[in-house]
A and B are shown apart, each in its own frame.
Chain A
Amino acid sequence: MASPLAQFEIKKIIEMEAFGYDISFTNSSLAMIMTVVFISLFMYLGLRNLEIIPSKRQSVVESSYEFISGMIGDNIGNEGMKYFSFIFTLFLFILVGNLLGMLPYSFTWTSHIIVTFSIAFFIFIGVTLIAIYKHGIVKFLKFFAPSGVPKPMLILLVPIEIISYLSRPISLSVRLFANMMAGHTLLKVIGGFVFVLGANSFIVGGILPLAFLIALTGLEIVIAFLQAYVFAILTCLYINDAIHLH
C-alpha cells in the first residue's frame, strides 16, 4: 500500500519537450483530457437534438447554463454576461475535474497547487486588466484607498487593501488545492484503515472504517461541487469588483 500522498504523484506517460521546457504528457494531462472529453460529450449529447420543449438531457445542459447565468446575474449583473463563456467553462472544468478525481484509480488534477494557482493567477491578471481598462489606472489605484476614511488611517488601510488584493490568487488557488488534497488524503488514510483493520481482525474490524469511508466519499462529492461553485462565484465577485470598483 502506497503513502497517502503517492496518489498525487505525476507520472510521465509520453515524454515531450519544447523550447527547453518539459511538456510531457502525464497522468495529470490524461485526467485533464478526460475532463474536456467528458464535458464535450455531456454538452454534445445534451445539445444533439435541440428542441423548443427540451428532452431530459437537454434540460440538464440548459439547467447548468441557467445556473451559471443566474450566478452571473446575481453577482455582476447584465454587464457580466460578456464573461459568461469563461465562467461557464471554468466552473464545469473544475467541477468535472473534481468529480472525475473521485473515481478509483483516476487522478485529481485540481489537487495540484500549480494548476489551481495558474488558473487563479490568470483570473487575477485578467480582472486587474479589466479594471484598468474600464476605469483607468488612477481610478483603479483609488480602489486601494476607500473613500470616507480619515487620512491618517490610510497609512494603515492602503497596505492592508493591497495585501488583500494581492492575496486573492493565493487564497483562491490554495482553497481549491487544499480542499482537494486534504479530502483525497483523508480518503486514502481511511481506506488504509479498512485494509489494515480488516486484515488483522478477520474482516470484522474493517466494517466501521468502511462505513466511514463511504460517508466521507459522499462528503467529498459534495465538496467537489462546492469548491467548483466557490471558485466560480469568487471569480464572479472579482470581475464585479473590476467592473464596478466600489
Chain B
Amino acid sequence: MLRYTFLFYLLIGNTISATEEKGGMPQLNPESFSSQIFWLTLLFITLFLINHYFFLPKIKNIRRKRDETIQSYLDEAKKLNDSFNSLVEKMNKEFEEVKNEQNALIKKTFDENKKIFDKKILEINNDFEDKKNKLNSDIDENKKMITNELPKLCVDLSDKLYEKIIGEKIKGSVSDFKKIIGDDK
C-alpha cells in the first residue's frame, strides 16, 4: 500500500511541476488563442447557419401550421355553433308559428261550437217557449171548455142523481142551474 501511495505522490509531483514549468493557467497561454478563435468562429457560424436556414424555419412552420389548424378548428366550431343557433332559432320560430296556428284553430273551433251551442240553446229555448205557450193556450182552452161545459155536466149529473133518487125524470137547464148557484149574470 505504501508503495502505491509513494508512486501516486511521485506522479502528482511530476505533473504539478510539469504544469508549473509551462506557466500556470493554460487559459492564459496565448499560443492557442488563434486556433481557438478560428474554430469558435467557424463552428458557431456553421451552427448558426444550420439553425437559421434549416431547423428553425421547420419549427416556425410547424407552429404556424398548428396555429392555423387550431384556428380552423375554432372557426369550424364557431360555424357549427352558428348553424346550430340558427337551427334552434328556426325551430323556435316554427314552433311559435305552429303554436299560433293551433291557438287560432282552437279559438275558431271554440267560436264555431259556441255559435252552434248558442243556436241550439236558442232553438231549445224557442221550442220550449212555443211548447209552453201551446200548453198554456191548451190549458186556457181546456179551462174555457171546462168552464163552459161544467154547468151542463152538473145539470146532467143532478138530473141523473134526481132520477136515481126520486125516480122521476126531469129536464133541468143550464140557466136554471146558474140561477140556483147564483151565477146567472
- Measured CB to CB, the residues of A under 8 A from B are 1-3, 5-6, 8-10, 12, 16, 18, 21-26, 28-29, 32-33, 35-36, 39-40, 43-44, 47, 50-52, 54, 58, 61-62, 65, 84-86, 88-89, 92-93, 109, 111-115, 118-119, 177, 181, 195-196, 199-200
Contact = CB atoms under 8 A, between A and B. Distances in A.
Contact of A47 (B40, B43, B44, B59): B59
Main secondary structure of the interface of B (DSSP, over half): helix
- Nearest 4 A/B pairs, CB to CB: A29-B39, A85-B52, A10-B32, A23-B38
A50 B51 contact: no
Contacts of A92: 47, 51
A39 B184 CA distance: 151
A158 B65 CA distance: 50
A200 B2 CA distance: 8
Contacts of B44: 89, 93, 119
20 contacts: A1-B15, A3-B15, A8-B26, A9-B19, A10-B35, A12-B35, A16-B35, A22-B32, A25-B35, A29-B36, A29-B39, A43-B55, A52-B69, A62-B62, A111-B27, A112-B36, A114-B32, A181-B27, A195-B8, A199-B4
B31 interface: yes
B34 A22 contact: yes
Contacts of A61: 59
Contact of B16 (A3, A40, A119): A3
B108 interface: no
